[in-house]
Homo-oligomer: A and B are copies of this chain.
Amino acid sequence: MDQTPTPHPADLADDLAGPPASVEEFRARLADILDDLPRRLRQCADHIAANTDRIAVSTVAELATGADVPPSAVMRFCQILGFSGFSEMQRLFREAYSPGWPDYSTRLKNLKEGGTGSPSALLAEFIEAGRQSLEALAKSADELALHRAVSVLAGADTVHIVGLRRAFPVASYLAYVFEKMSVPAMLHDGVGKLDHRFALRPNDAVLAITFAPYSEETLTLAQDARARGLPVVALTDRMTSPLVRYADAILTVPEVDFGAFRSLSATIAMAIALAVAIGTARGG
Q: Which residues of A contact B (CB under 8 A)?
A: 27, 30-31, 34, 45-46, 49-50, 53-54, 56-57, 62, 66, 94, 96-102, 104, 107-108, 111, 114, 117-120, 122-127, 129-131, 134-135, 137-139, 141, 143, 146-147, 149-150, 165-166, 168-170, 172-173, 176-177, 180, 191, 212, 237-240, 244-245, 254, 258-261, 263-266, 268-270, 272-274, 276-277, 280
Contacts and interface: CB of A to CB of B under 8 A. Distances in A.
For the complex of A and B, 9 pairs with smallest distance between CB atoms: A169-B169, A123-B273, A265-B265, A119-B277, A169-B173, A49-B240, A126-B269, A57-B94, A122-B273
Given A134-B265, A143-B114, A53 B99 contact: yes
10 contacts: A57-B57, A57-B97, A101-B139, A107-B138, A119-B146, A122-B272, A125-B273, A129-B269, A168-B172, A261-B272
A107 B57 contact: no
Contacts of A27: 239
Contact of A31 (B150, B240, B276): B240
Contact of A131 (B53, B102, B135, B180): B135
Contacts of A274: 119
Contacts of A122: 272-273, 276-277
A120 B169 CA distance: 23
Nearest to A254: B50
A3 B123 CA distance: 56
A97 B137 CA distance: 19
B264 A150 contact: no
B56 A104 contact: no
Contacts of A123: 137, 141, 146, 269-270, 273
A130 B134 contact: yes
Contacts of A276: 122, 258-259, 261
